[in-house]
Amino acid sequence: MPAFRFLSALAAALALAVSGALPTEAAAEAEPAPVASSSRLDAILAHGVLRVGTTGDYKPFSVRTGSGNRFIGLDVALAADLAQSLGVKLEIVPTTWGTMMGDLAADRFDLAAGGVSVSLERQKTAWFSTPYLRDGKTPIARCAYAQKYATLAAIDRPEVRLIVNPGGTNERFVRARAPHASLTVYPDNATIFDRIVAGAADVMITDAIEARLQQRLHPQLCAIHPDAPFDFSEKAFLLPRDVALKAYVDQWLHQAIESGAFARAEEHWLAYPWGIESLRALIDARLLLAPDVAEFKWNHHIAIEDLPREAQVIAALGHQASDLGVPQAWAERFFRAQIEASKMAQNAMFQAWGAAGRGAFPDAPDLATATRPRLDQLTGELLHALAENWPLLNDPKRRDDVLRALRPMQAEDVSAQAVVEAISPLGN
């Protein structure tokens, strides 16, 4: 009997047991009755899509990259494997910690994942899968002050600037356990640790696994006793109250854990070079402006290449990068690759437009007032992203991790060769 049919039959038996309508001996020998069509598992199989809600702001579980709906991370990879085991497509649905429970109740997705902590409050209206990771709340602060915030008593003081992300178990924990601290609820979980580095906050209390990861990403920060957190918690998938779906997810998780597949996935995402994602997103965003540049130049019969201006720009960027701690020669090679990649994309467009006898583009953005300011902004952001990631880029031991993290960009208007050229310096 196929796995999902077996689990559906099990769900039906469980439902009868809970209701007190236990089957008779004769009924037990009969073929199990099919689960009602209201089963969420049956609906997923019928529609051919598994909808998974995730916040995209919690490394290593779920991270939204760039400006689109591309998500990566441990729980995203697990969700993809779950969908594959069901033989259906995976659809990621963005949500937030504050709206997750309401979105689940409103049927905006079939389950939620992304480092969701098991809590009794959430259990009141939803279910959880078998837990896959043990965790707990622990503080993280600048290393110079780490011992100062080792206890809740030391944190729970009016002069301590405590920072937290909104809507989840972190906020509930600090409001209950450190009510006297000066609390800032910061809305962007992706950049909240930068606030501590910058001295805008003293300490954050978060899950131990995140504290461990963030101290790797921010050398100025130290996770404080992550092996002995303030409390005990577990991570699991958040589920609707559907017996058949829970039975299937639990069995799938059990097999992933016992086979070692989960451990391998966890190791991969804990070692993932997370900073490269933000750098890669900026590279992609800059390269995706190539069609706007090409259309303006096509309309005004301007040559794609301008070597004197390119040399001037590259030299200036090299000096700026050097001031930020990135070797000038390496930075010049990086920005030369960005310019060459854009020119490759523009040349490919010019050839296609010429072969097609293309006329002028009526809606082409103005290069001076629209496109170039955007290019300048992205270039400035790239400079700072290079500086932030230079320890990673300059570490030979992490080179393989960096190369694995560089994924092809999905863009019809940009040639594959241009993408390869743009990211080539990152693996060297």
Q: How far is CA 171 from CA 127, 165, 242, in A?
A: 21, 6, 29
pLDDT range class, residue 412, cuts 50, 70, 90: low
Residue type, 143: C
- The pLDDT of residue 217 is 80
Residues 370 and 390 in one domain: yes
**At residue 184, does pLDDT exceed 60?**
yes
pLDDT range class, residue 14, cuts 50, 70, 90: very low
The residue range of the domain holding 371 is 275-427
Q: Identify the three-state secondary structure at position 28.
A: helix
pLDDT range class, residue 21, cuts 50, 70, 90: very low
- The pLDDT of residue 137 is 95
pLDDT tens figures, 131-152? 999 999 999 999 999 999 999 9
Residues 403 and 285 in one domain: yes
Say if CB 250 and CB 129 are below 8 A apart: yes
Q: Which CATH number belongs to the domain containing residue 218 in this structure?
A: 3.40.190.10
Residue type, 125: T
**At residue 22, does pLDDT exceed 50?**
no
Residues 9 and 125 in one domain: yes
Q: Which two tokens stand for residue 320?
A: 């700026």
Q: Which two tokens stand for residue 140?
A: 């993280």
Query: Taking the CA of residue 243 as centre, how many other CA atoms within 13 Å lie in the half-sphere pointing to its CB?
Result: 17
**At residue 16, does pLDDT exceed 60?**
no
Residues 291 and 342 in one domain: yes
pLDDT tens figures, 280-330? 888 888 999 999 999 999 999 999 999 999 999 999 999 999 999 999 999
- The pLDDT of residue 396 is 84
Q: Which CATH number belongs to the domain containing residue 284 in this structure?
A: 1.20.59.10
Residues 297 and 421 in one domain: yes
Say if CB 128 and CB 241 are below 8 A apart: no
**At residue 15, does pLDDT exceed 70?**
no
Q: Identify the three-state secondary structure at position 252.
A: helix
Say if CB 72 and CB 65 are below 8 A apart: yes
pLDDT tens figures, 31-64? 554 444 579 999 999 999 999 999 998 889 999 8
Q: Which of 56-60, 177-181, 272-276, 396-400 has the highest mean pLDDT?
A: 177-181
CA dist., res. 62 & res. 274, Å (int): 11
Residues 352 and 299 in one domain: yes
Query: pTM value?
Result: 0.66
The answer for residues whose C-beta is within 8 angstroms of residue 83's C-beta and 6 or more apart is 50, 52, 89, 90
- The pLDDT of residue 35 is 44
Residues 121 and 22 in one domain: yes
Q: Which two tokens stand for residue 24?
A: 């008779």
Examine the fold and report which residue of 220, 248, 270 is the final residue of a domain before the chain moves on.
270
Residues 109 and 149 in one domain: no
- The pLDDT of residue 417 is 83
Residues 280 and 407 in one domain: yes
Q: How many domains does the chain have?
A: 3
Examine the fold and report which residue of 231, 260, 289 is the final residue of a domain before the chain moves on.
231
Q: Region 375-404: what's the mean pLDDT?
A: 86
Helix (H) or strand (E) holding 210: helix 208-217
- The pLDDT of residue 206 is 94
Residues 58 and 171 in one domain: no
**At residue 223, does pLDDT exceed 70?**
yes
Task: For residue 367, give the DSSP letter.
Answer: I
Find where tokens 């900073």 sit: 275
Alpha carbon of residue 175 to chain centroid: 27
Q: Which residues pair with 333 in a beta bridge?
A: none
Residues 295 and 421 in one domain: yes
**At residue 243, does pLDDT exceed 80?**
yes
* R_g (Cα) of the chain, nearest Å: 26
CA dist., res. 138 & res. 231, Å (int): 8
CA dist., res. 428 & res. 425, Å (int): 5
- In total, the chain counts a number of residues equal to 428
Alpha carbon of residue 319 to chain centroid: 33
Examine the fold and report which residue of 178, 207, 231 is the final residue of a domain before the chain moves on.
231
Residues 125 and 248 in one domain: yes
